[in-house]
A and B are shown apart, each in its own frame.
Chain A
Amino acid sequence: MNLDYLWGGFAIALTWQNLLIGLVGCFLGTLIGALPAIGPINGIALLLPIAYTMGLPPESTMILLAAVYCGAEYGGRISSILLNVPGDAGAVMTALDGYPLAKQGRAGEALAISGISSFVGGVIGAIGLALFAPILSSLAIGFGPAEYFVLMIFALATLGAMVGSQPVKTLMGCVLGLMLATVGLDATSGSYRFTFNEPELGDGIEFVVLVIGLFSISEALIILENQSAGVTMIRKLGRMMARLDDLRKCVAPTLRGSAIGFVIGVLPGTGASVASAISYTTEKRISDRDGTFGKGDVRGLAAPEAANNATACGAFVPMLTLGVPGSGTTAVMLGALMLYNIQPGPMLMSEHPEMVGGLVASLFIGNFFLLALNLPLVNLFARVLTIPNWLLVPGILVLSIVGVYSTNASSLSLYLMLAIGLMGWLLRKLGFDMAPIILGFVLGDVMEINMRNALAISGGDISIFFKSWISLVLWGLAVAVAVLPFLLGRRAKQRKERGLTLDAEAQP
């Protein structure tokens, strides 16, 4: 394995101009990520023309854009944790345990823990990219429609963990998400579904519109409701550093989240939202012994946060080795290369090793920057919580509306967001969780398209889902996550009982 390109890349990334560019990118990225609805793709589209007109060389532009991309994955967690408003698509799952922690007065800790797990996820992703990119590209190719479908089956199997104490409501939420995902152009038949002749619904309901509606609009309504009912929330800032104890608990979830995130990032058909969803549900399946997930468990915070950062690095694998984008954001970066007369394609690595090397090296350096930027700033970010409600609620609404409008420039998406927000508020009052809706929406979309494409290939023969070894491994994993927790749970119970009898015998 020849790593010369990487050392050459470090030489490029460590020049003072590129370090400065990386630092600026990390900072901007964190800000872009923290703003609701505005994600890495918008940030990059905004910065690209500026970088180009400033005459930056291609490798510096790539370093800037990669820094923004990674920074946004860090920044998304901030608003998720503090306000229950996901900053971008990958940060939705972060809100599930991050916001309860903030409500318990542990916002500072939650920010610190998620910052550290983001860092670990990012570095593991960068190592994976540097060492295994050529090998992994064959995995990306191996995933056809049938394999994606089975991957979604696996994801749904882990989702069984979400069912929890109110299975009916969870399933209803999930189905609601699936139904919302059917709106828009149906690629397999070419006809529009549930669009009511409205061109703006042609692409379906935008993920950000759904997320911002369900989370931030309904959150603003709930804060208002509590305020008028005289329930004042006590917001404590708490300590600003993670507890050693919590960090120790998060080691395994972070590592698992990083691995899941990286592999899913490598697959061109899935992104940070799917990666963080699968890592969260998997982690809940594995670790949630006492039903603490969703109520402020640090492990439920660390796993998706590590995953979304690792995904960002994984998405570079198909981009750099195959010349096809691994995510929406890397698609824009490929477009950026064309601005510089570099035709993206499978020859990228051999024709422009300095650019590829500089990019990979900057991912390592960028993650250190981001950790250094994020940990000291925890204190500052957490002060958002001291903002009084009369300022906070309009603030959330303004940020949500501006965010959604700036990405689509459409007033219909604003109405849709408000309507979804109202619906979300009602559902929350009825005791529904928002997470199953989001999961149904994210997974259902990928699942439907790929199932129908797979059946189009085989002509309706379902044996296609059991043909490749990738599918078989995924089926095996799906069965394992569905069954193992029951078996393990029973064994733990037996052991406990045996322990009790032993104790009883020991006592005379």
Chain B
Amino acid sequence: MTLNVTRAAAAALLAFVMANGTAMAEPAKPECLAGAKPGGGFDLTCRLAANSLLASKIIGAPMQVTYMEGGVGAVAYNHVIGKRGADGNLITAASSGSALLIAQGKFGQYDESAVRWLGALGADYGVLVVSAESPYKTLGELVTAYKATPADFAIGGGGAVGSQDWMKASLLAKAAKQDPKAMRYVALEGGGAVLTALEGGHIKVGSGDAAEMGQHHKAGKVRILAVMAPERLPGDLAQIPTAREQGIDIDWIVWRGYYMGKDVAAADYDWWVEGFKKLSATPEFLAERQARGLFEFNMFGQDFDAKVKADVARFKVLAKEAGL
């Protein structure tokens, strides 16, 4: 083991020397900023990049993961814009939730064009779950029942009103022709709390993400009624129909990506875009993505930038419709 460490150190040193010698700007001190506590979604996003970039030798020096908690990424967003706008070493984790918050003006004074969107390396999808004992077996049954007596359905999600989980729940309410604002939404602290509240019968419906809920679906604790994806998901969840299949047009993709400061040198930005493209085809990355429970979603550079901007525009409409 000691040998391994020495070898890794030597490799890192060599890569560092080489990096300084070449024109294409490989970051000497790559860093990923996670705008939350360790162990959360942003941390997972950072580690996905950090581990697979190193394993596939696209970066020589290990990528440091740093944390800056606050406002579901708002603090990190303002920090990057204000203090590290030109730092070519730094990428920051983001998700579709970030776009949703930007759309609602919850990221402070800055909008989506204040940073450069780099790329996305994976995605998760929204799901609606009920407890294993629930009488509802399909999304259609749930929507019908919800329509009849909306007051009987407490819907729990792992975020505040206006968060992604709330938006998913509001799509259900809209499918049942109900006012999302009148929805009995219970803002719980994270997906774990949604699960215990479902199992304990405190809420009737849970709103969450496929990767986390899938484990509990497999164990028979809860039942996923629908995945909010355009097509069925691979793997363990292949048996679960999409919302579209069940005649209800609800999509909710939770992409996991990264952004950089606005004033990063073009060469640095291009290096990262190319690096991510290369990375997305390596076996090391595919293994890492699967281990994180994420699904395929590769989008880089200009395409991704356009996607984020389109998302923000769409979320603005959705938020307005929902009365936020």
Contact of B186 among A145, A189, A203, A328 (CB under 8 A): A145
Central interface residue in B38, B40, B184, by most chain A CB within 10 Å = B38
| Residue in A closest to B153 when the chains form the complex, CB atoms | A457
- A residues apposed to B, CB below 8 Å: 41, 44-45, 48-49, 53-55, 140-146, 185-190, 192, 197, 199-200, 202-203, 268-269, 318, 322-325, 328, 331-336, 338-339, 341, 343-347, 408-410, 449, 453, 456-457, 459
| Residue in B closest to A143 when the chains form the complex, CB atoms | B200
* CA gap between A422 and B257 in the complex, in Å: 42
Q: What are 28 A-B pairs at a CB distance below 8 A?
A: A41-B38, A44-B38, A141-B200, A145-B186, A145-B197, A187-B160, A197-B109, A199-B75, A199-B107, A200-B70, A200-B71, A202-B74, A269-B189, A323-B192, A323-B216, A324-B192, A331-B39, A335-B40, A339-B291, A341-B291, A343-B293, A344-B215, A345-B216, A346-B215, A347-B218, A409-B66, A409-B68, A449-B189
* Cβ contact within 8 Å between B161 and A189: yes
Q: Which 5 A-B pairs have the closest CB atoms?
A: A202-B71, A144-B202, A324-B192, A190-B161, A345-B215
* CA gap between A332 and B187 in the complex, in Å: 22
* Cβ contact within 8 Å between A324 and B193: yes
The SS class assigned to the B binding surface is mixed
For the complex formed, measure the closest distance between the CB of A167 and the CB atoms of chain B, giving whole angstroms.
33
* CA gap between A324 and B291 in the complex, in Å: 18
Q: Which of B188-221 contact A (CB under 8 A)?
A: 188-193, 195-197, 199-203, 215-216, 218-219, 221
Contacts across chains A and B counted by CB atoms under 8 Å: 159
* CA gap between A44 and B191 in the complex, in Å: 21
Is B143 engaged at the interface, CB distance under 8 Å to the other chain? Answer: no
Q: Which residues in A have their C-beta under 8 angstroms from that of B185? A: 456
Is B47 engaged at the interface, CB distance under 8 Å to the other chain? Answer: yes
* CA gap between A371 and B246 in the complex, in Å: 60
For the complex formed, measure the closest distance between the CB of A449 and the CB atoms of chain B, giving whole angstroms.
8
* Cβ contact within 8 Å between B215 and A269: no
For the complex formed, measure the closest distance between the CB of B170 and the CB atoms of chain A, giving whole angstroms.
11
Contact of B44 among A54, A338, A345, A347 (CB under 8 A): A338
Q: Which residues in A have their C-beta under 8 angstroms from that of B13? A: none
Central interface residue in A199, A339, A408, A459, by most chain B CB within 10 Å = A199
Contact of A457 among B65, B162, B184 (CB under 8 A): B184
Q: Which residues in B have their C-beta under 8 angstroms from that of A146? A: 202
Contact of A410 among B4, B68, B184, B192 (CB under 8 A): B68
| Residue in A closest to B293 when the chains form the complex, CB atoms | A343
Q: Which of B123-171 contact A (CB under 8 A)?
A: 151, 154, 159-163, 166
Contact of A141 among B43, B108, B199, B218 (CB under 8 A): B199
| Residue in A closest to B68 when the chains form the complex, CB atoms | A409
